[in-house]
Amino acid sequence: MIHKIKGLHDDGCGLSIRAISQELGISRNTVRKYLRADEVAIATAQLDRSREKRLDEHRDYIVHLLGAFPKLSAVKVARKLREKLGELEVSDRSIRRYVQMLKRTHAVGQRRYYEPVIDHLPGVQCQIDPGELRGVLIGGEARTVYFVAFVLSFSRLMYVGVSFTPIDTAGFIQLHDEAFRYFGGVPEECVYDQTKMVVIQERFRELTVNQRFHEYATAAGFRVHACEGYDPESKGKVEAAVKYVKQDCLYGETFIDHQGLRGHVLDWLETVANARVHGTTHEVPRARFEAQEREHLRPYLTPACLDREAQAGAQRRADKTGLVSWRSNKYSVPMPYQCAAVGVREAAGELLISDLESGERIAVHALCTEKGRIIKNNNHYRDHAQRITELEAAIEAQLDEDVGRQLCRLLKRTSPRIYKDQLRAVRNLLREHAPLDPALTAQLVERPQLTATTVQRYLEAHRRAQARGRDDVADPAPARAPALSLHQYAAVGRSSGQELTHEPA
């Protein structure tokens, strides 16, 4: 600005002070000040960074804010200053520059304490972290791809296991098996965040580990190390790898089918991720691994517990109605397995359901290609028709066969919706009042309607009559009044045909 003023004025041969003021949009007093000033003094003043700024009187407060909240933005600092002091004669741009200067020249507090990390010895540690990317085009359809990244801390050799459904504990274990077979061995320690697939609960840094995963880790021969909660930076190698997989491997790619995506990931690992010169080690991960780390990995064999899970397939828990969910449909299991966990897997167009402990197959269903269906085997539930047949046979055995059959038909005609309950009640009543008088049962089947309550009244009345020494039993049901005919009231409210006219008085 000063050079522009001097150039436009040109020692009095150029524009006037008023014209310069209008040309540059500044006041005439500012133009006069810089025209009178000596060039050496101006240069000295510009080089003096210690000259006072308008925000210097609030410097301590701003430093205090940045010390307590190091990621505070300049916009937020400006708002807090205005809340504290009212309007400021300083622009937001000046505040932003001032805050940036303080962040560069003052050590502000950080959320955590950092130290340089020395890379582990070969074969010691593998960092593991799941991730997902939405909107991946597979067969022309946008899908979510779930994956788990495995990075050996020393060589930076990477493996990526892919899944097209949300990863549960069984899937997480299966991807570990793929990774260790890819590495050709297992490290001493695996590092995780506090995912429920590994850590169920943390209290005072005491971990409750997922039992199934702990069984696998023990059988495979590696230690489980879980980071503190909400501290992903403690496994920064794999955090960077997850971003690398999303941005470099999957983003911007299209795939024909699932197998095409899996093939692309394996090819990317061999030709890109493990073949590049790593930015930290300055070596190719595959070469560094083969030269210095492979021999330090422990031998790995797929544990027997993983073979059992593969045979059983996925786990599902049956609900209280004895149904398990599989691919948006529900399939029945036998009654003893209601609310229990079972093994589920597909084979040759069928869904095979097995007992988790014994491996015994307990149900087989044809796979349904639709969604929202319930596929039920009636043998898995109580056979209501068989139960009714058994109750009818019991009643006929207690009475004469023809009389018993007539009694059952009468009960069914009277109460079809609760027929089974009526049969059960009548069977119990006949057992309670045995032996029965044939005349009494004959009287019962002659009624137009019959319920278990009516049978109970007849039997109790018969018992009381016998106790009094009487043999005849009147109908114990209360006498019903004859039906009342209301046809005589049909004409009420109707005109008789005569019209009455009321004349005004």
pLDDT digits (tens, 9 = 90+) for 58-93: 787 888 788 777 878 888 888 888 887 778 778 888
Q: Does one domain contain both 179 and 238?
A: yes
Task: Report yes or no on 116 lying in a domain.
Answer: no
Task: Report yes or no on 72 lying in a domain.
Answer: yes
Q: Greater confidence, 236 or 90?
A: 90
Which residues are 342's β-sheet partners?
A: 316, 355
pLDDT (0 to 100) of residue 498: 43
**Average pLDDT rounded to a whole number, residues 421-446:** 86
Sequence-separated (6 or more) residues with CB below 8 Å from residue 41: none
Distances in whole angstroms, Cα of residue 301 to Cα of each of 159, 182, 229: 18, 12, 32
Q: Dig out the tokens for 43 from the structure.
A: 């240069």
Task: Report yes or no on 303 lying in a domain.
Answer: no
User: What percentage of the chain has pLDDT greater than the value 70?
Assistant: 80
Q: Which residue has the tokens 């009516």?
A: 454
User: What percentage of the chain has pLDDT greater than the value 90?
Assistant: 17
Instruction: Evaluate whether 127 touches 235 at the Cβ level (below 8 Å).
Output: yes
| Residue 121: DSSP 8-state | P
Question: CA angle at residue 503 from 498 to 505, to 5 degrees?
Answer: 145
| Band (187; pLDDT cuts 50, 70, 90) | very high
Q: Is pLDDT of 157 > 90?
A: yes
Task: Report yes or no on 475 lying in a domain.
Answer: no
Q: Does one domain contain both 400 and 347?
A: no
Q: Does one domain contain both 376 and 388?
A: no
- 368 burial (CB, 10 Å; 0-12 / 13-18 / 19+) is middle
Task: Report yes or no on 503 lying in a domain.
Answer: no
**Average pLDDT rounded to a whole number, residues 480-486:** 53
Q: Does one domain contain both 363 and 390?
A: no
> Of 175-184, 234-243, 482-491, which range is least confident?
482-491
Helix 211-220, helix 304-312: angle, nearest 10: 130
Q: Dig out the tokens for 442 from the structure.
A: 């004959």
- Secondary structure class of 229 (helix, strand, coil): coil
Sequence-separated (6 or more) residues with CB below 8 Å from residue 191: 125, 126, 127, 128, 225, 226, 227, 234, 235, 238
The pTM of the full predicted model, rounded to 2 decimals, is 0.48
pLDDT (0 to 100) of residue 500: 40
- Secondary structure class of 418 (helix, strand, coil): helix
- Secondary structure class of 461 (helix, strand, coil): helix
Task: Report yes or no on 501 lying in a domain.
Answer: no
Task: Report d(CA 457, CA 447) in Å as an integer.
Answer: 14
pLDDT (0 to 100) of residue 235: 53
Q: Does one domain contain both 80 and 146?
A: no
Which DSSP helix (H) or strand (E) runs through 80? Answer: helix 74-85
CATH of the domain at 155: 3.30.420.10
Task: Report yes or no on 210 lying in a domain.
Answer: yes
Written as one letter, the residue type at 273 is: A
Task: Report d(CA 173, CA 293) in Å as an integer.
Answer: 23
Where a domain ends, among 265, 296, 327? 296
Q: Does one domain contain both 60 and 190?
A: no
Task: Report d(CA 445, CA 410) in Å as an integer.
Answer: 7
**Average pLDDT rounded to a whole number, residues 464-488:** 60
Q: Does one domain contain both 134 and 187?
A: yes
Task: Report d(CA 495, CA 153) in Å as an integer.
Answer: 104
User: Would strands 223-226 and 189-192 be described as parallel, antiparallel, or unpaired?
Assistant: parallel
pLDDT (0 to 100) of residue 7: 76
Q: Does one domain contain both 145 and 288?
A: yes
Q: Dig out the tokens for 64 from the structure.
A: 């205090």
Q: Dig out the tokens for 267 from the structure.
A: 């090819």
Q: Greater confidence, 502 or 359?
A: 359
Give the chain's domain count.
Answer: 4
Instruction: Evaluate whether 243 touches 220 at the Cβ level (below 8 Å).
Output: no
Instruction: Evaluate whether 387 touches 362 at the Cβ level (below 8 Å).
Output: no
Q: Does one domain contain both 100 and 229?
A: no
Which DSSP helix (H) or strand (E) runs through 439? Answer: helix 438-445
**Average pLDDT rounded to a whole number, residues 40-53:** 62
Nearest to 156 by CA among 238, 250, 222, 268: 238
Q: Does one domain contain both 292 and 424?
A: no
Q: Dig out the tokens for 4 from the structure.
A: 């522009």
Where a domain ends, among 105, 134, 157? 105
Q: What range does the domain containing 408 cover?
A: 384-467
Task: Report yes or no on 308 lying in a domain.
Answer: no
Q: Does one domain contain both 149 and 23?
A: no
Q: Greater confidence, 241 or 118?
A: 241
Q: Does one domain contain both 22 and 130?
A: no
